[in-house]
């Protein structure tokens, strides 16, 4: 077997190969959704993307006989380490041919890099943190990923195990349909939760979008702060994400809970724009944009990707009330399927009411660790 060479990305040509590899590996996979190359390039831009204001990263390519056969990013996230009082590194953007030797060489390169930067172990995959796509799909391979969720072939978890990585946490995705949910029961759950706690729930005001994002950022870190793996977002990073989402969000699916003039929680669901991106092949031009605009009108599924409540109301049923209100709004808007993701495997305060409302777990993702 020819020797594998792992090298750090150096220059535009290497970066282009790093970005392009998944489009080659998944060319014939019916479930993979090609992301827009421009969006991937922006996320990897260590000079401009706000994530890297408090993070470092190195990108690696694996080559065999001159051909790219794998990639990985090694990440040191100061935000995570300061918040959790840890000293760990991360890996992300992992892709590889089905070869344990290639996977091992990539993971060892990433591990060496984070150890050289004084980390004690490596965890992942995160692309590039838990605020973005994260986790490796370990079951539910026969369905395309929804917006901002990962996808990989069944061989990847096996590669992780062969290299010696171990599970540290599983993340679950639940699926429900507004058409099959007892809407009256859902409305009662939401009404009881909000009235009992004196919370007024409203849709986001798109005419005051900047100020609304500011309000949500002000509670984001406290609302999610106790979750395992949570990483605080800087104001610049939060606003960048808000700007990107603004193009596709529906106001009735962004709910803000207030007590008086204080925001105490919010919930965000996005139409599954992956159903439109699938047809663009990762490019906006010459026809990709037209295809996205055409198929975006036909989207019938959505993903609930953020739901947070500040500490005082966390155990009071308000989170379940937000979910109920979102499912109800999805039904009014004619959506077919609603994915609730991701949810920590041990977050019983969220899982139990979801299951009572009829949601079914249909996918799982894993975060691995390697000392």
Residue 87 lies in a domain: yes
Quote the pLDDT of residue 159: 98
194 and 248, same domain (yes or no): yes
In angstroms, rounded to a whole number, what is the distance separating the alpha carbons of residues 139 and 366? 10
- Closest C-alpha to 324, from 347, 358, 273: 358
What pTM did the predictor assign? Answer: 0.94
Residue 370 lies in a domain: no
Q: What is the CATH number of the domain that holds 278?
A: 3.40.630.30
Last residue of a domain, one of 121, 136, 171: 171
Cα-Cα end-to-end distance for the chain: 28
User: Would you call 315 helix, strand, or coil by DSSP?
Assistant: coil
Last residue of a domain, one of 171, 199, 231: 171
Torsion 339-342-345-350 (CA) sign: negative
How many domains in the chain? 2
Region of 164 on the Ramachandran plot (φ > 0 left; ψ -120 to 50 alpha; else beta): left
142 and 199, same domain (yes or no): no
Per-residue pLDDT of the chain (371 residues; tens, 9 = 90+): 679 999 999 999 999 999 999 999 999 999 999 999 999 999 999 999 999 999 999 999 999 999 999 999 999 999 999 999 999 999 999 999 999 999 999 999 999 999 999 999 999 999 999 999 999 999 999 999 999 999 999 999 999 999 999 999 999 999 998 877 776 776 777 778 788 888 899 999 999 999 999 999 988 888 777 789 999 999 999 999 999 999 999 999 999 999 888 898 999 999 999 999 999 999 988 888 889 988 898 999 999 998 888 877 776 678 778 888 888 889 889 999 999 999 999 998 889 888 887 889 999 999 999 99
122 and 240, same domain (yes or no): no
Q: Which domain holds residue 348?
A: 175-365
50 and 90, same domain (yes or no): yes
256 and 333, same domain (yes or no): yes
The 10 Å CB-count burial string (b at 16+, else e) for 154-189 is eebbebbeebebeeebbbbbbbbbbeebeeeebeeb
277 and 134, same domain (yes or no): no
In angstroms, rounded to a whole number, what is the distance separating the alpha carbons of residues 286 and 294? 14
CB contact at 8 A, 279 and 292: yes
CA distances from residue 254 to 138, 203, 299 in whole angstroms, order as listed = 30, 6, 17
23 and 153, same domain (yes or no): yes
215 and 315, same domain (yes or no): yes
Last residue of a domain, one of 171, 192, 218: 171
In angstroms, rounded to a whole number, what is the distance separating the alpha carbons of residues 103 and 69? 9
145 and 191, same domain (yes or no): no
Quote the pLDDT of residue 94: 98
CA distances from residue 213 to 45, 209, 210, 218, 309 in whole angstroms, order as listed = 23, 6, 5, 9, 16
């Amino acid at each position: 077997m020819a020797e594998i060479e792992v090298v750090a990305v150096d220059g535009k040509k290497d970066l282009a190969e790093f970005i392009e590899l998944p489009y080659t590996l998944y060319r014939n996979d019916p479930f993979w959704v090609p992301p827009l190359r421009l969006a991937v390039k922006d996320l990897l831009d260590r000079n401009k993307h706000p994530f890297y204001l408090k993070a470092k990263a190195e990108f690696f390519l694996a080559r065999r006989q001159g051909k790219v056969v794998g990639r990985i990013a090694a990440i040191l996230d100061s935000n995570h380490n300061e918040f959790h009082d840890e000293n760990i590194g991360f890996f992300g953007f992992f892709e590889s041919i089905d070869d344990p030797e290639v996977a091992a060489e990539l993971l060892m390169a990433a591990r060496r890099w984070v150890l050289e930067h004084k980390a004690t172990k490596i965890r992942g995959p995160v692309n590039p943190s838990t605020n973005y796509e994260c986790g490796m799909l370990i079951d539910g391979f026969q369905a395309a990923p929804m917006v901002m969720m990962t996808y990989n072939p069944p061989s990847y978890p096996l590669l992780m195990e062969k290299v010696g990585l171990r599970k540290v946490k599983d993340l679950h995705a639940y699926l429900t349909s507004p058409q099959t949910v007892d809407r009256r029961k859902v409305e009662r759950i939401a009404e009881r939760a909000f009235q009992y706690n004196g919370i007024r729930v409203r849709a986001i005001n798109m005419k005051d979008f900047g100020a609304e994002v500011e309000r949500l950022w002000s509670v984001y870190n406290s609302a999610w702060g106790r979750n395992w793996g949570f990483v605080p977002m800087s104001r610049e990073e939060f606003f960048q994400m808000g700007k990107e989402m603004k193009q596709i969000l529906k106001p009735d699916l962004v709910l803000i809970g207030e007590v008086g003039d204080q925001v105490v929680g919010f919930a965000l669901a996005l139409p599954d724009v992956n159903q439109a991106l699938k047809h663009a092949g990762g490019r906006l031009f010459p026809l990709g944009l037209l295809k996205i605009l055409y198929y975006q009108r036909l989207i019938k599924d959505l993903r609930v990707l953020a739901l947070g409540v500040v500490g005082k109301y966390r155990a009071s049923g308000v989170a379940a009330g937000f979910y109920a209100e979102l499912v109800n709004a999805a039904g009014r808007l004619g959506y077919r399927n609603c994915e609730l993701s991701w949810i920590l495997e041990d977050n019983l305060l969220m899982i139990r009411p979801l299951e009572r409302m009829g949601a079914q777990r249909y996918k799982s993702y894993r975060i691995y660790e390697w000392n």
